Amino acid sequence: MRYADGGGLTAAGRERRESVRMQAAELFEQGIKPLEVAPRRKVGHLAGWCMPDAPVPVLHLTARYLAWVFIFDDSVAEDQERLRQHAAMNLPRVLETGVVPPGRSSALVPVLASVHQDIVDAGGGPLLPRLAAGLQHYLDSCAREGPWRATGTPSTLDAYLDDRTHTSGGHPLYLHLLAPGMPPLDEPLPSPVIGLAELAFLIGALANDLLGFAAEARHSDPVNAVTVLAHEFAYSTTDAYRAATVLHAAHKHRFDTDYARLLGEAGLTEPQRTFVRAIGGWVAGSAAAIEPYLHHLLNLEP
């Protein structure tokens, strides 16, 4: 969860945000790699729930990249100035090429380059353009959230849902394509399959919004489906929460319909159907994992 910079935060929210950043900075100063922080975020557990059939090396690789995204989320994405500084380092290019830009850079940048090398070593080089594009969408969507937090005014619902698909940080799950039986890595995926994957990311994000709303409301964070619905339709908080629950259920129903249709699609190859089944596992796994995961985070940062 990311919190506002400036006017969108209460004093308590600003204090908590700075506490998270200082913890990350202290770890970097001690020479502790960001990915070594991953166990306290239970990233491996989350990846395991979403990819129960993946080989252990694929699961570990996915957890490493998810950990990088989560740590970036906590230590950079909520601060628009830091986000701009990191955007200038062209992080998607670092992920795709493994080349660290010259000059002073964040401790996260060489770690991202090491994730690149891990992916290459695992035979995932052809996936790097897709992952880099996912990272670029994530960064662009994070940047668009800045004005909402600065003013405390939410976006429109349509814009929010579009960006929330990407700020979910789900794109590392494409590393599941490294598992046996999946389509060739250099084969383009059919657009309906990509659409199903993005819908899976959004469903997980909306579940996160529902479960995390109380904590986010305490920190005056306007970037949540409940707050967006309350603002756009003049709902009370109670009615907006109910509407967000219906919104999540409607997207899940759409997912189930599209999932069943794609599994029966004659034009899909068997490896493509295997990947569709994996996407179904992401949704089932995230639903099972997200509540205990959020309780874990609240225990860490009440």
Listing DSSP states for 169-203 in one string gives: --GGGGGGGGSTTSPPTTSPPPHHHHHHHHHHHHH
Residue 1 lies in a domain: no
Residue 160 lies in a domain: yes
pLDDT: is 140 or 6 the higher one? 140
Q: Output the pTM of the full model.
A: 0.82
Percent of the chain with pLDDT over 70: 80
pLDDT category, 290, cuts 50, 70, 90? low
Most confident range, picked from 34-38, 48-52, 148-152, 202-206: 202-206
Residue 243 lies in a domain: yes
Average pLDDT over residues 247-271: 96
Residue 186: give its domain's CATH number: 1.10.600.10
Residue 38 lies in a domain: yes
User: If phi over 0 gives left and psi between -120 and 50 gives alpha, with beta otherwise, what is residue 265?
Assistant: beta
Q: Which of 35-49, 98-112, 231-245 has the lowest mean pLDDT?
A: 35-49
Q: What is the pLDDT of residues 52-88, one digit of tens each?
A: 889 999 999 998 999 899 889 888 888 889 999 999 9
Calculate the dihedral angle through the C-alpha atoms of 216, 222, 227, 231, rounding to the nearest 10 degrees.
160
**Taking the mean position of all CA atoms in its chain, how far away is CA 61?**
16
114: enclosing H helix or E strand: helix 108-121
Residue with tokens 């899940």: 252
Q: Total domain count for the chain?
A: 1
Residue 69 lies in a domain: yes
Q: What is the pLDDT of residues 90-107, one digit of tens each?
A: 999 999 999 998 877 788
Domain region containing 132: 6-300
